[in-house]
Each structure stands twice: as structure tokens, then as C-alpha cells.
Chains A and B, each alone.
Chain A
Amino acid sequence: MAVATEQEILDGLAAIIDDIVGIDKSEVTPEKNFIDDLDIDSLSMVEIAVAAQDQFGVEIPDDELRNLKTVQDVINFVQKLQG
């Protein structure tokens, strides 16, 4: 797929989070921590990561997933791999 902009990744991630755990898209902003701010548990993070891999065409290894603590972390990771 074409390289996504930061906004496109944010929008795509927010849609995935809404679909999987039912958090309103407006809540998903770059500075938010998945566990502390959005109350997303570790198994749901696995589901979200799998959906994000499919949507953005990148591989997120388990080792990397542990380091993706905020929405901005995911945006940076996807941009780095797409770039």
C-alpha cells in the first residue's frame, strides 16, 4: 500500500480500536497510553496489533509490541517501516 500520513495512521488506528474495544475515535489521540489512558488490556492489544498489521501492511513482532505504549509510538513505528 501507499505510505500513509500520520493522520491516516491515526484515523486507521482509531477505527480499529473502536471496532475491537468500543472506544470512541475522538478519545484516540497521539499522546494516549493504551493501558493507562484507554484502559485496553494486553489481549486486546494483541488483537489491535494484528488488525493494524493487516491494515498498514507492516509486521509488528511481539518484541516490538511491548514497546508500543502510546498511540504516537504506533504511528512512529508504522511510518518507520513504511518509509
Chain B
Amino acid sequence: MSKSKTTVVVTGLGATTPLGGDVPSTWSALLAGESGVRPLEWEGVEELPVRFAATLKVDPSEVMPKQVLRRLDRNQSIALIAAREAWTHAGFAPPTVRKPKKGEEPAGVEGGFLVDGDRLGVVVSSGIGGLHTALNSYDVYREKGWSRVSPFTVPMLMPNGASGHVGIEFGAMAGSHALVSACASSGEAVGYAIDMIRTGRADVVICGGTESCIHPLQMASFGAMRAMSTRNDEPTRASRPYDKNRDGFVLGEGAAVLILESEEHARARGAKVHGIASGCGYSGDAFDIVLPDPTGAGQAKAMRRALVDAGLQPSDIVHINAHATSTPAGDVAELASIKAGLGEEAAAGAAITATKSMTGHLLGGAGALESLFTILALRDGVIPAVANLEDLDDEADLDIVRGEPRKLADGPAAALNNSFGFGGHNVSVAFERAL
């Protein structure tokens, strides 16, 4: 860890995913190798090339009242659910959800640490934003006219809506941001949050990502790209990174939120520290709007820059949560990038997993969820195995965790989480175990 930089620690985790409605249930399902992929049961689904997706295990309607849900897009409601879990996990006082009425004292803040709103930031990303809202509102407009369109349509469809709602709920006044870079969006959110704390803009940042766009249009448009698995007869076995018979990614939905905090602030309040957010590296491929640069140069640069930013050596990396979406070209190209980024020897020493085999691909939520998994792997000393990996691709010549979860040795340990997005956005976030 570079002495010149503020140390940023992870003090809270929250998620709602295809595997569970919170972090403990998601993590235990992941270690058990369960699949969050399910058949879609829409009217007319038989017309689509892909008829399954990794839908949420716990629907937001089970934990939020309908009056709240009607003014939130689904990606926003799940971001709030994940943020609430992370906030409580960090030991902070419950937020004043409702503004006090005239002459009334604000609601109670007992039962946790009270964060100074001017020192609290938010960075919550979505790659797509409120797709359901945009399309449903257009249907209302065409059928009933403009006056029946919800007045909440604009705040529900804007991709920064989740960040805004999280900021309002917790009173974050240091700044509220939403970085958009397709499937790299929430990896960048974590990186931006680290920098907010290092540059002194905030002591605490609620950061993460959210996505919910499992809609016929997405199945059609990703289908038109031939990017998704069409294993319609075996949905739970469709996401299979590094397997010879992989045939594309599986669309998922969910949200994940991390509470990052300066070490000084966390120690002063006696917070439990779950890991260290050591640094972040970015690069742009400047090559193609959807295809990754086949040389892997851009991805390798992001990993090298993450190591430099974190003050780590390639040999410090014991684990990588790969972007690995289960596409024929992408998975092995990333392995080549890892070798280029870390060097052959250090690359061979990193145990690699691909958790999209179980969660599906959360697009703008992927970076944050996989950062969360990387932190838990370091903290608990166990790396989830890649699911559905039956016949290893000959080109997958690094240490892929398969079969059973892998135990990690005690002591210092560092890991990378890679996320790459359409547009040529590459981001790699470095984490270390808190000792």
C-alpha cells in the first residue's frame, strides 16, 4: 500500500441478486454452486431467441410497499434495497426516510453511528437505466395519451436515478454520481469512490451498481447481436465460462453496494473492516464499439494501472474475479490479457473465478457485485468455483477454480476484479485482505 495515499477500507456490503435477497444468502448460494438462471414465463416468450435469464431471487415487491415501487424503476428499487443492507451492515444510524413535518423533530437516529452528510458521497451506476419505465410509459402514451403518462417517468428512466434516490435516502451531500460505461459501470463506480475519499471530498462513500433490464427488447437486441447463450433447454447450465461448449452470456439483474470509508474514519468509530479497496486502473481500447481489442492490450493496461495505483506487485495477486461472461472469444482473450498484464509467472499464481456462471451478467451491476465477491473471498479465505465448467477450453491455461471452492492461505492477500464494457471501457479494481 502506497504510504502517500489515504487507505480506503470496506465497512459495509449489501446486495440483492439472482441468488438471494441479501449478501449472506447470495454468498452461501455462490459457494454452493447454485444457479440463479430461470426460464422466462412471459406471454410470447416462444418468439424470442433466448427464453431464460438470471432474474432476482427476491422480488422488490416482497420488501417494499407498492406506493414506493410505483415511483421507482426496478433498477432504482433494488439499488435502495442493497444500499439499506450495506448501510446497516456498516453500523450507521437508520436514515430519516421521511422529511420532518413543520415543527417536528427529525426522526430518531439511535442505534448506530451518525454520518456527517457533507462528508458522505454516493456513486451508484447503471449501464442501461430505466428501460422498463421508458418502454412501459411509451405504451401508456400510445394507448391513453400524454396526460396518463406518469409524472415520475423522467426520474424513473434516467440512469442516475438510483444514485439520486440513494443520496436522498441517506442524506449524502458530498456529491452524488453515476458513471456510465456499459458493463464496466459499477467497477468504475468503486474506483471513483476510492478517489473521492483519497482526494478528501468524502469520508464515507456509498458505491455500487444496479441493473434491471430483463425485457423482451433486451432479449431481442442482445439476441440480434448473437451475444447470448441460446441453451434454452438447459437454462441453469447456459452460463459456462471457460467451458469448451460455452455459447454466450446470460442476462442477469440485481444490485450490489459497498460502503467505502477512509481508514481513519472507520477506526475512529470502531467499525468492522471487511477489506481494503486498494486502487483502481482504467483504460480505453479505442478500437471498436462492441468488440474488445483482440490483442488484449487495453485490458492488460487496466490491470497494470490498478496494481500501480494500489502500490502492489503482480506477485501479490492471489485471486482474480474475471469479467468472463461465457462468450467464446471474450473469456480466453481476458486470460491472455491477464498474462500480459501481470506477467506469465504472476498470472499463473492467481486463482481465477468467473461468478457470472451462477449470477448471470448484471451488466452495469456486475463490477460492484463481483467486487463484493472479491472482498468476501479475501475476507473468508475461500474462492467460489466456476459453475458448469465440464470441459475446460484448451486455451484456458491459467489456474481456473473448478469443482469445489478453493481455500486461500492466511496472511496478506490481494486480488483484482475485472470489468469490461461495450465502448472499450476497461476497469480493474484491486482489493486487499484486512489483517
Contacts and interface: CB of A to CB of B under 8 A. Distances in A.
Contact of B67 (A19, A36, A43, A50): A19
Interface in A43-80: 43-44, 46-47, 50
A43 B71 CA distance: 10
A50 B148 contact: yes
Contacts of B68: 22
Interface string B70-89: 11000000000000000000
A43 B102 contact: no
A22 B151 contact: no
B65 interface: yes
Given A22-B66, A46-B151, 15 more contacts: A19-B67, A20-B67, A20-B70, A21-B67, A22-B65, A22-B67, A36-B101, A36-B102, A39-B99, A39-B101, A43-B71, A43-B152, A44-B71, A50-B147, A50-B148
B277 to A, nearest CB: 36
A43 to B, nearest CB: 4
Contacts of A19: 67
B150 interface: yes
A interface SS class: helix
Interface residues of A, number: 11
Interface of B: 65-68, 70-71, 98-99, 101-102, 147-148, 150-152
A46 B151 CA distance: 7
23 contacts: A19-B67, A20-B67, A20-B70, A21-B67, A22-B65, A22-B66, A22-B67, A22-B68, A36-B101, A36-B102, A39-B98, A39-B99, A39-B101, A43-B71, A43-B151, A43-B152, A44-B71, A46-B151, A47-B150, A47-B151, A47-B152, A50-B147, A50-B148
Nearest to A23: B67
Contacts of A46: 151
Contacts of B65: 22
B428 to A, nearest CB: 41
